[in-house]
Structure 1
Amino acid sequence: MLRAFAIGVALAGLAGCKPPATDDYVARVALDTAQSHPSEPLASPDTEGALWVPGEGVRILYGKPGEAPLMALACEDGGEGRRIHITRFAAADPRAKAILALIGNGHVVRLNVDATWNGRAWLWEGYAAADDSRMEVLTGPRRIEATIAGAGSLELNPSQQPRLLVEACLRDPRSPAVQEATAPA
């Protein structure tokens, strides 16, 4: 009995050598194994004079004439139906994930976006079904604000082009009426 008691005391003493788990456990990780931090946030671009223009296929680009585009919307066949492909031309950290908030025309929409390599840079891309009622954010006559944390806030000036693209995507994008609606002027 005395022997069992002595073993118990010895084990309790050994257990006291290990500190208990705490909230500051991360502080004990070596600095060389810590993950790197995300990139510095980007400033919101100036969109005065920016507009939507038709691109190739059923696609529209947003930006200032003569400058790199800031955003693109395209209609694609997503296998389960047509979908709107949204690209925000802003540098993204490799394989990052974020939320794109679209605010305007009486709607607030949050879409998942992923950093995607396009062959030259990591950009933000996401998708929504063309018949998703949340896409009504793009169909109204008012300004839209598109925000991704760290990529700034992008003001989308009022235009009928996003509405025409969404409507075209709901129909057959190969039809002559759709081609005419999204053709360069």
Structure 2
Amino acid sequence: MRTSFISTVLVSLSLSLPAMADVFTLSSQDIATGKLMAKTHEFNGFGCSGDDLSPHLTWSNVPEGTKSFAITAYDPDAPTGSGWWHWQVVNIAKDVRALPRGAGSVKSTLLGENAHQVGNDYGVKAFGGACPPIGHGVHHYRFTIHALSVEKLDLPSDASGALAGYMINANTIASSTIEALYQRD
């Protein structure tokens, strides 16, 4: 009985390991899940004095059927009642696998020819760094790569973060997230 159980477990593990190796994965040289971000990624304004640079991001094991990518950075802890969109990029070409630090600047040419940055909650079409209120505790910043089933999301030039988020989620095949932290005391 015990040998049969062990054999079943080993067979199950051997069948699931290849699938686990092919999981769509987001990684970064700059940020990590559960770790505090550097001041490099803090906003410059609203009382914050960081460098306001988007982090380096890279992704691997892209799912079959991916036609483009989108990136979002969102703080659910912002005291707004609806969180805070720090960054949304759509229409990233399907052959792109990484963005360097600072790719989210206002006039970036590092996102690719057809990529489009949606206006963030600071009112800028670019990356806007972390800037939680002083004394508000640790905030969680969810950087997510979305593999999309469409080549292009047709969004109006003044699309809201909510509309962009809806369209991204409606066309996502798979996604992967790094949840970095930031706090101002």
| TM-score (norm. length: structure 1) | 0.21
Structure of greater Rg: 1
Indicate the structure whose relative CO is greater, using CA pairs within 8 Å and at least 6 residues apart: 2
Query: Higher helix proportion, which one?
Result: 1
TM-score normalised to structure 2 length? 0.21
